[in-house]
Chains A and B, each alone.
Chain A
Amino acid sequence: MLTYIIRRSVTAILLALAVASIVFIALYLVPGDPATVLLSTGGVEPPASAVEALRIELGLDRPVWLQYFAFLSDLVHADLGQSFSNGSSVLSTIMIRLPRTLELIAAATTISLLIGVPAGLCAALNPGSRIDRGFSFAASAGMAFPVFVVGTAMIFILAQTLRLVPAGGFVPFHENPGQHLLLLLMPALAISIGFSATVFRMSRATVSSVLHQDWVRTARAKGLHERRVVVWHILRNALGPIATVVGLEMGSLLGGSVLVEFVFNWPGLSGYLVTAIENRDYPSIRGTVLVVATLFIFINLAVDLLYMILDPRVRNQ
């Protein structure tokens, strides 16, 4: 098992490096000179000599291959470079932004699992019942509403009409824990509406597929309590595919929660990435993509390990 983890980790690092290189090349193919874009924020005309001076300051006057090797050698020293916008370390900015995104993903995943799995189980155990139809309808609706519609509606109802919560934002935990959690809850809920629907669908499908397996009948025949049959013999065997879906969804939220971050003014990693792209801030784009890709790969690794724990057959292969 240890060699497996090591092998997978090495592959993960090589993959991340490949991603970084592709992003590096892709950025040079995208039109828009960083120095010009940075100095013309808001549509002003930058003085030509300032643009030239900034190009030299940012090292953009060097040949591309030289810039690439500088990037790689920095990377070996765990340095993601300095932001073009303000000269601050990209890594330290990511380390500030990443926990906020992880926190949001963790909250959304927890809520989605708490809603999706029990609901899927209930629906599968009572197929065709009013509960099943009700949950399925809610899931379709949940998946159909885009997150920005749900988010905007939540802001309109909860913040503007009922005045129960602030209109989005972020307060550091140490400053005001209650407010922090309240502000976290809103975007997390907005994400979970679609996410829990996905979890529900997957849970319902996999539970239904194991429901009539021989071992379930055997467990019942042994006279086991129904709760034990459901939790140990049905649910546990159904968890594998759910873990896969949840892992993939968590990974895509790393860089893909930009809409919800925008609607709720949550200062996470995706919003940072989008701003960096708008500003052609190459080091910030590369750094963020590299971190997201690495995490994505490791989330998948974690899912595979979870599979091993859940299913002895995978472990012994």
Chain B
Amino acid sequence: MTDKLRSPTILSRRTFLAATGAASAALMLPRGLRAQDTSVLRYALSAYPPGLDPFRHQGAAANVVNAQIYRGLLSLNGEGEVVPELAESWSMDGAVLTFKLRPNATFHDGSPVTAADAKWSLEQVIAEDSTAYFVEDLRVITGMETPDDHTLVVTLEAPSLAFPKFIATPYVPVLSQAAGLESPVGAGPYKIARMEEGVSIDLEAFEGFYKEGLPRTPRLKMIAYRDESLRVAALESGDVDIIEYVPWQSMGKIEENDSMVLMEDTGPNMILNFNVTQAPFDDPRVRQAVAYAINREDIVAAAFYGRGEPLLGLPIDKDSEIASDATQNLFSYDPEKAKTLLEEAGVVGQAVRLLSSSTYAMHEYTAIVIQQYLDAVGLKVELDLPEWGARVTQGNEGRYQFAVNGSSTTVNDPDGLTAMIGTGGPSYKRSEGYSNADLDALLAEGRHETDLARRQAIYNKVATIVKEDVPLCPLTRRTQGYALRKNVEGFAPLAGSYSSYSGYCIENVVLG
């Protein structure tokens, strides 16, 4: 009877211990012994790209992948300057831009990159049914000509210093016209070899890339780590070589660790938008009061773990061509002045609702700090913290009194201010109902001014109006960080508005 019951699947204690011991030994050994393969660069993405449409905005992760597969006429170097890419040279004469394409640039299918391809690609961006990120910015194009196979002449409706900056981003690549949009073919340094849905994208070097000797690492594996702590853990345990979007709370820990390097630079700004169609924020004095009531150091400390700095002027890049004391030093922390302004406006003790979002801790914490400071000067703030998608809708529909917003210009050009403080349609990025004819006139003038000194003078005047009228309240500049293993060489991320275009420099990265 007992023999019959002794099933072969039931293990004796000794067999069980032996088996598990052997299995765990087998699983653990390779990890300790394995030397790193320097032919594969492993890059941790902050998300698996929702899609890889070459022109559409699909988040930072899609952007960094697209920067490997596609390239445009122009590009950005490590200092954030516009440099030639598929065009070997370019010139701007008033509203006419001439691009000379490289004779040796080829697409991934081996066909040469011609002026006709470049023209066709730009046409796709501005087409009637285009969903491109820069569709409206590029509709300033009034004509395009291709006098020969390697020359493209683009005419704009008016001179624009911002135009070359737009086409230098990864959102305006040159695609093969023959391949079309169904399965686009680009001319970037890497080609996609394999995609594992939701996990990783394997890329391999494109041998026909026009830059001699680049990309320096033959294979690139981009792995999605949505959880920011896990992304840091993966870098720490050597599973990946580079991570993007280092969480602020982990930056100190990475700086202290000898095997890792933190690359931190200023990134986007935080601001407050007002609904100026309703009381109390229809009164500029109340908006001014808000701008003086907040000690921004505390937002930096609470929402960004000290990784950032107060923003007291126009929300532009730190190294913007118009950045100066006149545009960057408009407000200060002055609670007495704020109280006086609120008393003058007769709104002391009034209740106001502040819209932010619980999806991002930085938005929520920023709102909490503001609530405390406004309470101290006599405004009772209630917080409204919906999930991000709902918050965007509420903002677009103007259903708020004032709102916390993350903000940066799309490219490092002061004309980006037009989208924030110029008159325009409803958008969660702009103060609801705000319109100022003097500002609009100055912004239009600044857009087409190509002389630097005159341009600076125009934006100094813009700053004077912003100080009085407060179409938005600047809060903080936050930092943006990448972290690398010590043996990674050649990675140089971009700063400010260009931070999410840092994917351009991956072609120079090599593992030591």
Contacts and interface: CB of A to CB of B under 8 A. Distances in A.
Contacts of B136: 47-50
Interface residues of A, number: 62
Nearest to B59: A41
Contact of A160 (B47, B225, B236): B236
Contacts of A49: 130, 135-136
Given A32-B389, A278-B389, A163 B419 contact: no
A96 B195 CA distance: 12
Interface of B: 1-2, 5, 26-28, 30-32, 47-48, 50-53, 56-60, 128-137, 196-199, 223-227, 229-230, 233-234, 236-239, 268, 386, 388-390, 392-394, 396, 405-406, 410, 419, 425, 427-429, 500
Contact of B28 (A164, A231, A280): A164
12 contacts: A44-B57, A44-B133, A56-B129, A57-B131, A86-B51, A155-B230, A168-B230, A168-B233, A262-B227, A264-B230, A267-B197, A267-B199
Contacts of A30: 389-390
Interface string A165-179: 111111010000010
Given A49-B130, A167-B233, A265-B226, A31 B2 contact: no
A225 B5 contact: yes
Contacts of A39: 56-57, 131, 133
Nearest to B235: A167
Given A39-B131, A54-B131, A267-B198, A167 B396 contact: no
Given A159-B233, A165-B31, A228-B1, A170 B199 contact: yes
A63 interface: no
A265 B5 contact: no
B419 A45 contact: yes
Nearest to B127: A53
B133 A46 contact: yes
A46 B427 CA distance: 9
A206 interface: no
A152 interface: yes
A40 B388 CA distance: 10
A115 to B, nearest CB: 13
A166 B234 CA distance: 7
A263 B230 contact: yes
Given A178-B26, A265-B230, A50 B237 contact: no
Nearest to A152: B229
B388 A167 contact: no
A49, A57, A167, A181 — which one has the most chain B CB atoms within 10 A of its CB? Answer: A167
Interface string A265-309: 101000110010011110000000000000000000000000000
A257 interface: no
Contacts of A237: none
A31 B31 contact: no
